[in-house]
Amino acid sequence: MSNKLPYADLSLEEALELFRADNDLSAKYRDMRSEAQQHFERHDIVHVLFGLDTTMREEAQADAWTLLGTDVSWRDIADFAALPEEKELVGDIGWWPITKAYFRGLPDYARIAWRSRKLRKKWSWADYAPYLSLRVSLIRREFGIDKALA
Mean pLDDT of 102-122: 94
Residue 135, beta-bridge partner list: 11
| Phi-psi category of residue 2: left, alpha or beta, with phi > 0 → left and psi -120 to 50 → alpha | beta
Cβ partners under 8 Å of residue 47, min gap 6: 19, 53, 54, 58, 62
Predicted confidence (pLDDT) at residue 50 exceeds the cutoff of 80: yes
Residue 150 has a pLDDT of: 57
d(CA 38, CA 97): 26
Residue 1 has a pLDDT of: 39
Provide the 10 A C-beta neighbour count for residue 28: 13
Percent of the chain residues past pLDDT 70, beyond the cut = 96
Please give the single-letter amino acid code of residue 27. A
Q: Where are the alpha helices (DSSP H) in the chain?
A: 12-22, 26-30, 34-50, 56-69, 74-82, 84-93, 95-104, 106-116, 136-143
Predicted confidence (pLDDT) at residue 3 exceeds the cutoff of 70: no
Task: Answer whether 7's CB lies under 8 Å from 136's CB.
Answer: yes
pLDDT in tens, 51-97: 999 999 999 999 999 999 999 999 999 999 999 999 999 999 999 99
Residue 70, beta-bridge partner list: 123
Four-CA torsion 10, 12, 13, 16, nearest 10 degrees: 90
| Phi-psi category of residue 63: left, alpha or beta, with phi > 0 → left and psi -120 to 50 → alpha | alpha
d(CA 57, CA 148): 13
